[in-house]
Amino acid sequence: MQVVVLRDAAELAEAAAAMFREHLAARPDLAMAVPAGRTPRRMYARLRDRQAREPVAYGAMRVFSVDELCPPAPADGYFWRQVWREFLAWAGVPPERCRPFDVGASDLAAMCDEYEEAIKRAGGLDLVMLGLGPNAHIASNEPGSDFDSRTRPVDLTPETVGYILTDEVLQGAVSDRAVTLGIGTILEAREVVVLVSGRAKRVPLARVLDGPVEPAVPASALRLHPRCTLLVDAEAHP
């Protein structure tokens, strides 16, 4: 696990955007699971700004979700709505190359099984980009998630729901259910990048870096990955 400490949130966003573009340049048909949330929001803004100055072609990449809230989320999903508005709307990735979670499906477990199959048909994920939750979750894999877990429906803790509700961009009720890439699914990606910003992430990050590798700390599983990079701003670094 490589830890890169950046000066502040702005420098982290620049580094994440640069890494994103470097992966795309190396593989235009990049299969990537892209994140939602506050820290990725700054990265998407940097990507949009750089696109205006130094355009690159995003159209061949394959875009997957990291996780999504279940209804009463809107039909296009809380998290996917952000990804669409802040990235896909200007990046020009064709809809047929985008794979959001269908949280309106009558059988969520079957939908998640098909999602795993879609990842396999894409040849696996080249890159998964994630945030770090305040209880050290990754995607929506809460503490106690098995390290070999696959894409599936999950229950969210009250702490996680409360944290989601602090994002001023969200409107309306937030479900305590979600669908998520499993930890095992994430560990099978060829590369994982985690964006960690803010003082509130200092304690969970310390648990990831220095504590035991165990399901009680879901993100500690990333220490088992051969190519995992943490981009961390100074406020979050223990």
Which pairing describes strands 177-180 and 67-69: parallel, antiparallel, or unpaired? Answer: antiparallel
Q: How far apart are CA 141 and CA 183, in angstroms?
A: 7
Beta-bridge mates of residue 195? 131, 231
Q: Is 135 tagged catalytic? A: yes
Q: Identify the pLDDT of residue 146.
A: 97
Q: Identify the pLDDT of residue 44.
A: 97
- Per annotation, catalytic residue among 68, 86, 126, 142: 142
- Per annotation, catalytic residue among 67, 86, 126, 233: 67
- Per annotation, catalytic residue among 86, 135, 141, 233: 135
Q: Identify the pLDDT of residue 173.
A: 76
Q: What type of residue is 114?
A: E
Q: Is 225 tagged catalytic? A: no
Residues of the chain with pLDDT under 70: 168-172
- Per annotation, catalytic residue among 68, 126, 137, 141: 137
CATH of 2-233, one of 3.40.50.1360, 3.40.50.10860, 3.40.50.300, 3.30.930.10: 3.40.50.1360
Q: Identify the pLDDT of residue 5.
A: 97
Q: Helix, strand or coil for residue 46?
A: helix
pLDDT tens-digit profile of 37-83? 889 999 999 999 999 999 999 999 999 999 999 988 777 788 999 99
Q: Identify the pLDDT of residue 162.
A: 86
How far does Cα 235 stand from its chain's mean position? 20
Q: Is 23 tagged catalytic? A: no
Q: Identify the pLDDT of residue 171.
A: 60
Q: Is 137 tagged catalytic? A: yes
Q: Identify the pLDDT of residue 172.
A: 67
Q: Identify the pLDDT of residue 167.
A: 76
- The full set of domain ranges for the chain reads 2-233
